C-alpha cells in the first residue's frame, strides 16, 4: 500500500550499495530536481537500471546492468515530502520499460498527485502501450535511420520496435517529443536532416537534437550548423537544439 499523505514529513533518501534488484524495482539513481528532463516542468528523475542495447556513445553506461540502490517504499515517502514542490516524475534509465513493476510505480506516483513522464528508446512497444494511459509526456529517442540501428545498438532487428513505438505515440493523445543524440561523425548533417524529414512526414510535432557530450559535459565535435537549425525549424511546429547550457 502506498504511504498516505498523512505520513508526510521531511525525508532524506539514503543511497544503498548497488545490489541485485531481486524482485524489487531496479531503482539505480535519482535526480531530485531537474528543469531539463521534461520541457517546461520541474521534476524528479528516477533512473531504472537495465538496458539490453549497447550503444557506443551511451550517456549512462552504468545503467545498462539491472541493479538497485534505492528502495521504492523509501522513494515513495520521499515523494510525499516533495508534494507541492515538483510538477511531476520522470522515469528514465537505462530503459525504464525494462522494469516489470513500472506500471505499478506509475500508478502509485499518480496517486500521490504527480504528473508522470517517460524517457524511452522505444524497444518495448507492447509495454509502452500498456502504460500510455498513465503518462502525460514521453521523450522517445530516435537514434538513427532504421537501416543503421543494429550497428549502433549492437542488437539485431532493433529498429522495428522503435518505429512501432512511434506509431503508438502518434495514435495516442499523449504529448511527446522525438529526440536524437547527435554527433556529426556518426550522423552527418544531411543524414540528420533526412531523418528529421521522415519524422516530420509521419506527423511528429516536436523534435529535439541533443549534441553528444563527454562525461564532463563538453559537446563532442562541432555544433549543428545554423543552416541546419533553420531547416529543422521549418519541419516541425517545435524544434529544440539542446546545447550543453540549454534550459527548457
pLDDT tens for each residue of the chain, 248 residues long: 334 333 444 567 766 766 666 788 999 999 999 999 999 999 999 999 999 889 877 777 788 888 999 999 999 999 999 999 999 999 999 999 999 999 999 999 999 999 999 999 999 999 999 999 999 999 999 999 999 999 999 999 999 999 999 999 999 999 999 999 999 989 999 999 999 999 999 999 999 999 987 655 666 678 999 999 999 999 999 999 998 654 44
Domain ranges within the chain, ordered by starting residue: 18-241
Nearest to 90 by CA among 135, 153, 45: 45
What is the predicted pLDDT for the residue at 3? 40
DSSP string for residues in 176-209: EEEEEEE-TTTS-HHHHHHHHHHHHHHT--EEEE
Q: Please identify which residue in the block is written with the cell numbers 527548457.
A: 248
**Of residues 205, 187, 196, 203, the one with CA closest to residue 230:** 196
Count of positions (residues) in the chain: 248
Answer for the pair 248, 39: CB distance below 8 angstroms, yes or no. Answer: yes
* CATH number belonging to domain 18-241: 3.20.20.70
Whole-structure pTM value = 0.89
Amino acid at each position: 500500500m502506498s504511504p498516505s499523505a498523512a505520513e508526510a514529513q521531511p525525508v532524506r533518501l539514503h543511497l544503498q550499495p548497488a545490489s541485485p534488484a531481486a524482485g524489487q524495482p531496479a531503482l539505480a539513481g535519482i535526480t531530485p530536481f531537474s528543469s531539463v528532463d521534461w520541457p517546461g516542468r520541474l521534476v524528479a528523475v528516477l533512473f531504472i537500471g537495465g538496458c539490453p542495447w549497447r550503444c557506443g556513445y551511451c550517456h549512462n553506461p552504468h545503467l545498462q546492468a539491472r541493479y538497485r540502490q534505492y528502495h521504492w517504499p523509501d522513494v515513495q515517502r520521499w515523494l510525499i515530502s516533495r508534494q507541492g514542490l515538483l510538477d511531476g516524475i520522470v522515469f528514465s534509465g537505462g530503459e525504464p520499460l525494462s522494469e516489470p513493476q513500472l506500471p505499478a510505480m506509475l500508478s502509485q506516483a499518480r496517486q500521490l498527485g504527480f504528473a508522470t513522464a517517460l524517457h524511452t528508446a522505444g524497444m518495448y512497444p507492447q509495454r509502452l502501450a500498456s502504460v500510455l494511459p498513465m503518462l502525460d509526456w514521453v521523450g522517445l529517442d530516435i537514434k538513427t535511420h532504421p537501416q543503421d540501428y543494429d550497428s549502433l545498438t549492437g542488437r539485431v532487428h532493433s529498429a522495428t520496435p522503435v518505429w512501432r513505438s512511434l506509431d503508438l505515440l502518434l495514435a495516442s493523445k499523449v504529448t511527446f517529443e522525438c529526440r536524437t543524440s547527435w554527433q556529426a561523425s556518426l550522423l552527418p548533417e544531411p543524414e540528420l536532416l533526412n531523418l528529421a524529414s521522415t519524422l516530420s512526414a509521419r506527423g511528429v510535432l516536436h523534435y529535439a537534437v541533443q549534441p553528444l557530450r563527454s562525461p564532463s559535459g563538453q559537446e563532442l565535435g562541432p555544433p549543428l550548423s545554423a543552416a541546419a537549425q533553420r531547416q529543422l525549424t521549418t519541419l516541425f511546429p517545435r524544434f529544440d537544439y539542446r546545447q550543453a547550457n540549454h534550459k527548457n
